[in-house]
């Protein structure tokens, strides 16, 4: 039995959870999400809790697969409940001279030292906002109820200019520590 899978999921006020035909649907103030659940896992909605357990009658090819599914689906459903009630937020910081970000609706425009600007269309589930203050690095603030999609979009934006270890220039998460290397002058003795 999975340690994470055993934990019950609390359902906050304003969130409704339904389970039908191996699909969990979660609705809340921030949106609606659904997730398919393998038949090897039982889902029970009791009072204001969701409890997942392993289906003892169902056998899988791999004996440990059922334990892995137990923890996986518990984590996915928990992320959905938190997403539709509170939401997720990520902040990216552009470090470098002349690096700029601006948005026009759901289109993000990045100027990252290339000969051209990069335009990126955001999915409809993600809200984007850019902040540019004097003497501060530009920020990109992304909000969504889908944690997985938010992580993928942040990874894509970051891949345009990854932080480099010598000067620290690039796109990084706010609060992220970049391991710095010393240049040639420090090692030539």
- Average pLDDT value for the chain: 91
Which pLDDT score is estimated for 102? Answer: 94
Q: Reply yes or no on whether the pLDDT at 58 is more than 80.
A: no
Shared fold status for 9-85 and 88-173: yes
Mean pLDDT of 97-105: 92
Q: Which residues contact 19 (CB under 8 A, 6 or more apart)?
A: 25, 37, 43, 45
Which CATH architecture best describes the domain 88-173? Alpha-Beta Complex (3.90)
pTM of the model: 0.87
User: What ranges do the domains of the chain cover?
Assistant: 9-85, 88-173
Write the pLDDT tens digit of every residue in 141-150.
Answer: 999 999 999 9
Among 156, 155, 176, residue whose Cα is nearest residue 165? 176
- The answer to whether residues 52 and 42 touch, using CB atoms and an 8 Å cutoff, is yes
What token pair was written down for 146?
């889908």
In CATH, the number for domain 9-85 is: 3.90.930.12
C-beta neighbour count of 76 within 10 angstroms: 16
């Amino acid at each position: 039995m999975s340690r994470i899978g055993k934990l019950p999921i609390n359902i906050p006020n304003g969130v409704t959870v339904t389970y039908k035909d191996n699909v969990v649907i979660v609705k809340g103030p921030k949106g609606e999400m659904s997730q398919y659940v393998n038949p090897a896992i039982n889902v029970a909605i009791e009072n204001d809790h969701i409890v997942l357990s392993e289906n003892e009658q169902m056998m899988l090819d791999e004996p440990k697969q059922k334990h892995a599914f137990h923890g996986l689906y518990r984590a996915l459903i928990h992320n959905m409940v938190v997403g539709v009630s509170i939401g997720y937020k990520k902040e990216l910081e552009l470090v470098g001279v002349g690096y700029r970000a601006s948005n026009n609706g759901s289109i993000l425009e990045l100027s990252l030292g290339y000969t051209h600007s990069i335009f990126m269309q955001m999915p409809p589930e993600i809200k984007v906002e850019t902040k540019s203050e004097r003497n501060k690095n530009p920020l990109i603030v992304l909000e969504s109820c889908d944690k997985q999609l938010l992580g993928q979009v942040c990874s894509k934006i970051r891949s345009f200019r990854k932080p480099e270890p010598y000067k620290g220039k690039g796109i990084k998460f706010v609060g992220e520590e970049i391991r710095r290397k010393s240049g040639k002058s420090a090692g030539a003795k």
